Amino acid sequence: MTAPATSRPAGGPARRLRRPRTVTGRRPGSLAVLVITTLLVLVPFLWMLSLAFTPEEAAFGSARLIPSHPTLDNFERAWSDGALGRAMVNSLIVTLIAVVTNCVLAVAAGYAFALLPFRGSRVLFYTLVSTVAVPVSVTLIPLFLMAKTFPLTGGNDITGVGGTGLLNTLGGVVLPYLIMPMNIFLAKQFFDGFDGDMAEAARIDGASELRIFRQVYLPLAKPLVAVVAIFTFTGVWDDFLWPLVVTTSHDTQTVQLALTRFLGSGNVQYGALMAAAVLVTLPVLAVFLFNQRHFISGLTEGSTKG
């Protein structure tokens, strides 16, 4: 079930069709497609932005994208009670821990599954990845019990009895995110694109496996690490059900929980909700912007990849 390495490209037709265009040359047509798609994709978000600046009583009142009386009240209300700020700090701590563990351990594991296979590694790989296909509804309570009986935390003894373990702690929140199996899968697919010859060459020179990983392959895997960082950050930042059950106080709430404060049943505060939602996307957007620079096109780089 693994992807075979690619075969050499078959040559095109024998006759020259025309002189190749410069690599960076863009046809106006493709740029137009990109611009139009981007604008379409942005429409719902622009409405959110518009609602965030619209006075509460006028929400959804007019079909205008630019609010007639823009106001910052919603942002003030969203931020005022401090719950959102506190939640952002909590979410940042949890996401950063998860980003580090995934970028280091999951990437290393994926590398080994692709290029350093061992006896039983395929079975292990499929077992780890297949856990993602089990709906979280049924693993939630078992995981909750494990967090509660985590040894030597929250008043527990070595056998995990006596206290509340990791419940209502940031350590408890981060548990299921420490390694996301999909990141191992992603890393394996990425390294599947390489072959073992570079490692062979380095082995002949007597380099250790760790060193081969760090100095030969990791530099080529910048886009991979960037994607793992982005996806882990986004995934943890957006997750809801686990933080919902594992936290009980403001001190450990995450951002998605803080947003529910504006969802009063039959009394949604649209303006404040949108303002809070906009504020909450900013850190993720920053992480994305920072990381996407690693997608510097291979077409422009002098170095080649193989």
Partner 1 sequence: MTSSPTATEAVLESGRTGRAPRRARRRRGRLTGLWFVLPAAAIVVWFTLVPVFYGLGLSFTQYSPLGRTGPRIIGFDNYVRLAGDADFRQAIGVTVRYTVQVLPVLVVLALLLAVLANKPFRGVGLFRSALYLPHIVSLTAVSMVWLWIYSRDGMVNELLDLVGLDPQRWLHEPGSALTAVSAMRVWKALGSNMVLLLAGLQAIPRHLYEAARMDGANAWQQFRYVTLPGLRPMLVYVVTMDIIYLSQSFAELFVLTQGGPLGETTTANYLIYNEAFQHNELGSASAMAFVLFALIIGFSFVSLRALTGRKS
Partner 2 sequence: MPSITPRRRAGATAAVLAGALLLVSGCGLQPQRSGSSGGDASSLTVWWPGTNQAEMDFVDDTVVPAFEEETGAHVEVTFVDWADLSPKLNAAFAAGTAPDVFGHGPAAVADFVVNDRVEDLGPYVDRMDPALREDISASLPGGQVDGTQYLMPLSVQGTLVAYDADAFTEAGLDPDDPPTTWEGVRDAAERLTVRDGGTITRAGLLVPSNPLGAQQSFAGFLAAAGGAQLSDDGSTAAFDSPEGEQALDFFAGLYGGDSPVADMLGEDYVNMPPNQQPIVKGDAAMAVLTAPALQQAVEAAPDKDIRAMPPLRFEDSDTPAMWGGAGPGLMINADSPAKDLGWDFIADLLAPDVSGQYTERIGAVPVHASAVDSEYVRSSPVIAAFVAASPSFVPNPNVPGWTGVRDALDARIAEALFGTADPSDALSDAADQVDSLLDAG
Report the site for partner 2 in 239-268 (rule: CB under 8 A): 241, 244-245, 248-249, 260-268
Tokens, residue 244: 């919902």
Nearer to partner 1 (CB atom), residue 93 or residue 216:
216
Position among 68, 80, 127, 248 found at the interface with partner 1 (CB under 8 A): 127
Tokens, residue 25: 């040359």
Say if CB 51 and CB 276 are below 8 A apart: no
Nearer to partner 2 (CB atom), residue 110 or residue 165:
165
Nearer to partner 2 (CB atom), residue 44 or residue 306:
44
Which residues does 259 contact at the CB level (< 8 Å), separation at least 6?
Answer: 273, 276, 277, 280
Position among 57, 137, 159, 265 found at the interface with partner 1 (CB under 8 A): 137
Q: How far is the CB of 101 from partner 2 (least distance, A)?
A: 24
**Among 280, 275, 286, which Cα is nearest to 90's?**
280
Does residue number 13 form part of the binding site for partner 1 (CB under 8 A)? yes
First to last CA, the chain: 23
Q: Which stretch binds partner 2 (CB under 8 A): 89-97, 140-148, 210-218, 284-292?
A: 140-148
Neighbours of 260 (CB within 10 A): 12
Does residue number 273 form part of the binding site for partner 2 (CB under 8 A)? no
The CA–CA distances, whole Å, from 93 to 3, 132, 171, 241 equal 36, 24, 10, 18
* Dihedral, CA of residue 220, residue 223, residue 226 and residue 232, to nearest 10: -110
From residue 3 to residue 32, the character string flagging contacts with partner 2 as x (rule: CB under 8 A) and all else as - is ------------------------------
Q: What are phi and psi of 151, to 5 degrees?
A: -65, 145
> Residue 29: which of partner 2, partner 1, none does it interact with, CB under 5 to 8 A by kind?
none
Q: How far is the CB of 11 from partner 1 (least distance, A)?
A: 4
Residues that bind partner 2 (CB under 8 A): 57-61, 119-120, 122-123, 126, 140-142, 144-146, 148-149, 164, 167-168, 241, 244-245, 248-249, 260-270
